[in-house]
Each structure stands twice: as C-alpha cells, then as structure tokens.
Structure 1
Amino acid sequence: MTTFTRRAALASMGAALATPALMKHAHAAEQTLRVHHFLPPQAPMGKFFETWAAELVEASNGALDVQVFPAMQLGGKPGQLADQARQGVCDIAWTLPAYTAGRYLLAETIGLPFMVTNAEKTSVAFHTIMDEFGTEEYKGLKTLAFHTHDGGKLHTTKAPILSAADLEGTKMRAPNQGTGDLLAALGSEPVFFPVSEMVVGLTNGVIDGCCLPFEVVPAYKLQELTKYSSEAAPGARGIYANPFAIVMNEKTYEGMSDDLRGVIDANSGIELSQRIGKDFDAAEAFGRSVVEKQGNEIHQIPAEEIARWAEAAQPIHDEWVVKLNDAGYDGQAVLNRINELLDAG
C-alpha cells in the first residue's frame, strides 16, 4: 500500500490528514508523531497545534511527520488523553487535569479560585511550579508545556451576575472542582461536564450559565446561547483558570534520535508555555469582540464583591493545602510560591 493510500484510508476512518506543509516532507520522514486533543480544529488551540506541528516538521527538515487529530478523532474521552499518550494510542496529547480530578494534584492547584492574572503570566507561573515541585507527577510521560487560559468569566442566559445574590438558585456549569466549590459557597448549584457537552446543557436549559474564558465562545457559538457575561473588575484576579498540559509518550521521546529529541526540546518547555499563554490572551480579546458584536451585555463584578468571593474561597484553598500535604508536597509552600509569582511585577 502506498503512503498516499494509507493516508486516504485514515481519512476514511475520520482521521485528520496532516497539513500540506507536513505532506510535502512525508516521503522523508523518519518518525511519525500523532497529536491528539479534544477541541474542534477551529478553536484557538486547534489552530495552534496545526501551526506547531508544521514548525516541528520544518525544524526537523522533514524527518518528523506530525499529524494532528482534533476533537478526539482517535477515540476515547478527554479525561483519557494523558493515559492515551502514556499507552501509545497517540504520541502527544493536550490534557486537562480537571477531567481526572485528584490524579494530578499539583497541576490542579493553579485551577483553584483566584489563582490567575492573565494567561501569559499565569502560564509561566504554572510551568515554574511544575518544574520546582512536580517533576514526578507525570511519570511515564515527557512533559512539554504547562499553561492556562485567561481568567474565566460567568456567561448566563437570564440575568448578569454582579453579586453572590445573583448566583443563588442558579445552575452553573463548573470547569473544575475548586470553582464548583466556590459556586456552591456562593449559592449556586455547580454542574460538571466537559466543555464539549456544554452547548447541549445551555440549549436544553439544564444550566443557567457557564464559567469560561471569552476565547472559548466563538468555537461553540456561545454568544448565541447566552446573553450576559460577567468578569472581575480590572485589577482583581480572575475567578479561575483551568490548567493544561502537553505531554508526550516517554518511550517515543527516548527512542528518537538525538537530533529529533533536540527538535522537540527546542520547541517545548517554559518558552512554549509562555507562547501559548500569550496566544490565549490574544484569543481572549477576539472572543470578547465576538460577544460584543453579538450585542450581549458585558458586566464587571465590583472589586469589593470579588474580595468577598475570595474570602469565601479561603476554606477551599485551606483544604487543598491538606490534600497536597497528604500527597507528599508542602502544600502551603506551593500556594505561597504561586502567589509570589502571580504578584511579581
């Protein structure tokens, strides 16, 4: 079977073909890498992975053939992505630790309420604490980047959220356990399901709103499903940010030639985390413009109200310190270090 025929067969099974830039070098490839993620290809991270894959091909002079499979095209569920990379279902995966709550405790820490400024700065802080405290957390995997999105907003269908009183009696899609605990403390009923299932929840009225950054809005046309967005006032930290990790099968990485490992190393690490964070900040601005163009209302939650919410979140942080301690970390030292990095000029 020719290379073209094999690719055609993959396409017929619903797999994504490599970009033209990748196919140009396919005949010379020494190593094929499959990248798997859960978002649609038109989402900002979907576009990023196509660009990054092409960069790996170019940097390797075509010795790498990098194929990107968005929207779980290799099968499984988003919470299985890290294991898929570990087991060789794919070679590289983009994972969300919140989808396997309690398994990657250190990585989840950055997802606690009010642990985010902007995406770029928070991504650098996240990668730094993983380097300093979490080198053993992703055993069996080569970690390539750790990053976050910008601070999440509250997008609702019936009324804006300006205080805890506005949350009472609502059902809100929570992005992770810590944010869900905060919503519950403020009087809302948190509902948990992946972002890919959120459209159905909003359409059917199962939820009254969701916690998300603006950058996700265009990919799922959430501006058409919600009418109001509420964000922390300028100067206050964002309500939350989900942490993400790009991980690689360790055996695949170790089995590559020195030159190809060098290509991976040169295109990963804290610089990649910072780059992705910066991209997320740009995508956040675009997503906001889409919401504004739709005519939806964007409200700011007053700083004094956010301060009350942060006080309500303190028990959540305290409980997390105990969890980290039980897992063998110095929990308070971890939180102190994150706050130090986020507060640094």
Structure 2
Amino acid sequence: MLHRILKSAAAPVVAAAIAFPGLAGAETLKFAHFVPPAHTITEAIVDPLVTGTAEATGGSLEIQVYPGGELGPGPVEQYVRAVTGVADIVWGLAGYTSAQFPLSMIVELPGVVDGNGDGYEKIWRAYDEHLTGEFPGTRPLALWTSEPNVLIMKDKEIRAPADMAGLKIRVSGAVPGRVMEALGATPVQMPANEMYNALQTGLIDGILTGASAIRDFKLNEVSSVYIEGASLGNILFYVVLNEEKYQSLPDAEKAAIDANSGLALSKSGEETWNRNAQSMMDELKADPAKTVITLSADEAAAFNAVTLGIRDTVIDELEGQGLPAKAVLAAMLGE
C-alpha cells in the first residue's frame, strides 16, 4: 500500500525552534506542514513539541519548522516526506491517503468518538497491538481527532437528510465520503487548502469538517450557513517522525522526544482543536450575517439513524478483507 503512495510523491526556513546561542553541534530536525503558521497546528502541536524538546535537551536538539509547504507542495504527500527523509517530522491527515490507514480511520466513524475530546485516547488504545503496521518507517509523535464534524454550506440550509440529496460536499477522506454518500450527497475529496476556492466558485456546495477549519482556512468569508448537532464523525490527524532519524539520535535526545510526545502531545492537539472550534461557533452565532443551525433532538436523530449505521457496515467490510476491525473497535472503545 505504501509503495503506491511513494511512487506518487513529488527556501527559506521559518524557525519555530528555541535557539540556544553558542551551542555547538546541535541536532536539527525538520518539521514540515502545509498550512500557515497561524493555523491551529502551531498552538496545539508545534509550540509544545519544539519548546519541550529544546528545554529537555538544553538546546542540543532543535526543531525547525517549515510551514506552508516549504519543503514541497501538496498535503497529500506529507507522509511520504517523512518516510523518504525530505522532512524528519510531518503533520498530516490520515484521510488524504485513506488506503494506508483503514484500521486507524475507524476512529473517524460516526459513533466512535463521543465529542468529549477522547479521540486521542481511543486511537492510542489500539495503536500498539493493531495499528503499527499502518505507520511504516515512522514513529507517531501524536495521534488525535478533530472536534465533531459540522456542515459548512455556501448558502443552503440543511435540516433533514433529504436536504442533502444531490449536493456536492467536500470531504477529507474515505470515511467521511461514506457518510455523505449515505445521506445522498456526492462526496468530493480535496486537500483543505483547496476548500476556499472550491466553495467560492461553486465547485462544491458545502464542506464536511470540524469548525476549527472555518477560521484556519477563512471559510467564513465564503460560507453563510453552518449545521451542527448530527453524528457526522471526526477527522484523524497524525504527527510522525522518521524512524531511522529517531534511532540515530543519542539516548538523551530520544528520551526528550519520548517525554514530549505520545498521549500528552496528542491531548494538547485534541483539546486545542476542540477549544478553537467552540470559539469559532460562538463567533458565528453572534454574527447576524451568519446562520447557525443547531439541530433539534428529533432532527439530529433523523441524521443519526443513517450515519450511525455506517460504523457497522464499514467494520463488516474490513473484516471481510481479513482485517481485525472488530478487535480494533473494541480496543478503541475500551471493551
């Protein structure tokens, strides 16, 4: 699976690292991502990782950050950059290469994450026993999920599944694509940095993603209606480090990375995503030019009657492919 991704893969440095002047022989790791520095990723992941490792090593380990695709355009190619050593550390979305992460992306299914910010715990519960094979050549430093997905519409109000019929909705990967298909919409997969223009020009009618993306990608400039309250799943994010690079580091620097990654860094990611999402929704609700539809219990139930059934369907399909999907789901749910 990965070899197909690798075959398709294709400045100035913005230093987000803490510098310790005069320290000779400092190791520098390159951290690449594809969004501007003001994106949620900086507050949630980059800053605590950069600061924590630098302080823990007295500056012998430095992380320099290359935002906005400076080490190569195309967010779809992020994982490949880490494997091939173009970057040492990358941030990406599992959905961009969905075929690589069929078991990990179970956490994206409606009804798996309950919306209370426990997605990172669920993915890590399943990681050691079931998911390591989906991260070849790398060491995950953080795995977490976004806030619950919402519908971000150019101008159409959505109150029932029937309102979705025939609409073109941008999705981040295969799992949200299944959700949209079940609701009668046509999923359109594209990287996040293409959403603005696609919505503005009418190429798509709406977007399924977390509310934090509204501010991160300025989607409020090209959308006017927002729908929350249905179980529409979440998005899985990863930050990974090239495994060979990790193994080449001195023990003290490995220990610094270990101490500033894993569950704690993943929690920071998820909590920040959720906090920024709530702030964005509050801002939209206070804007008289915007329409925020919070589905009633009955309205949400009509959506959930469709979307929650997708979980069992996908699990059965994966089992039919010989993958231990039921065991992964049970591990995620702590069963």
TM-score, length of structure 1 as denominator length: 0.86
Q: How far did 1:231 drift?
A: 0.6
Deviation per CA, 1:7-30: give whole Å up to 9, x if none.
xxxxxx2x33213x6234474352
- CA change 1:302–1:289 in 2 (3 A) is closer
Q: Does structure 1 conserve the Cα–Cα contact (< 8 Å) formed by 2:43 and 2:272? A: no
Q: Equivalents in 2 of 1:172, 1:87: separation in Å?
A: 33
Partner of 1:42: 38
Aligned counterpart in structure 1 of residue 295 of structure 2, from 298, 301, 304: 301
Partner of 1:249: 242
Q: How far did 1:85 drift?
A: 0.7
In structure 1, the residue corresponding to 2:133 is in which secondary structure?
A: coil
Q: Does structure 2 conserve the Cα–Cα contact (< 8 Å) formed by 1:148 and 1:242? A: yes
Question: Higher mean Cα deviation, 151-160 or 45-54?
Answer: 45-54
Aligned counterpart in structure 2 of residue 188 of structure 1, from 185, 188, 191: 185
Partner of 2:263: 270
Aligned counterpart in structure 2 of residue 260 of structure 1, from 239, 243, 253: 253
Question: Higher mean Cα deviation, 80-89 or 311-320?
Answer: 311-320
- CA change 1:166–1:136 in 2 (3 A) is same
Q: Equivalents in 1 of 2:309, 2:129: separation in Å?
A: 25
Alignment of 1:40-119 (within 5 A): 40-48=36-44, 49-118=46-115
Partner of 1:330: 324
Q: How far did 1:109 drift?
A: 1.3
Q: Does structure 2 conserve the Cα–Cα contact (< 8 Å) formed by 1:162 and 1:302? A: no
Q: How far did 1:314 drift?
A: 5.4
Identity over the aligned pairs, expressed in percent? 28
Q: Equivalents in 2 of 1:29, 1:228: separation in Å?
A: 53
In structure 1, the residue corresponding to 2:212 is in which secondary structure?
A: helix
Q: Equivalents in 2 of 1:137, 1:127: separation in Å?
A: 13
Q: Does structure 2 conserve the Cα–Cα contact (< 8 Å) formed by 1:122 and 1:147? A: yes
Q: Does structure 1 conserve the Cα–Cα contact (< 8 Å) formed by 2:209 and 2:235? A: no
Q: How far did 1:252 drift?
A: 0.7
Q: How far did 1:114 drift?
A: 3.4
* RMSD of aligned Cα (Å): 2.1
Question: Higher mean Cα deviation, 147-156 or 116-125?
Answer: 116-125
Partner of 1:124: 121
2:155 paired with 1:161: no
Question: Higher mean Cα deviation, 154-163 or 298-307?
Answer: 298-307
Q: Does structure 2 conserve the Cα–Cα contact (< 8 Å) formed by 1:120 and 1:280? A: no
Question: Higher mean Cα deviation, 79-88 or 288-297?
Answer: 288-297
Q: Equivalents in 2 of 1:267, 1:38: separation in Å?
A: 22
In structure 1, the residue corresponding to 2:216 is in which secondary structure?
A: helix
Alignment of 1:283-302 (within 5 A): 283-295=276-288, 296-302=290-296
Q: How far did 1:92 drift?
A: 0.7
Q: How far did 1:328 drift?
A: 4.6
Deviation per CA, 1:208-257: give whole Å up to 9, x if none.
11112111111222112111111116xxxx41111011111111100100
Alignment of 1:171-182 (within 5 A): 171-182=168-179
Partner of 2:8: none
Partner of 1:10: none
Consecutive unaligned residues of structure 2, counting only runs of 5 or more, are 1-10
Consecutive unaligned residues of structure 1, counting only runs of 5 or more, are 1-12
Q: Does structure 1 conserve the Cα–Cα contact (< 8 Å) formed by 2:212 and 2:273? A: yes
Deviation per CA, 1:258-308: give whole Å up to 9, x if none.
000000000011222122111112111222233234431211223334334
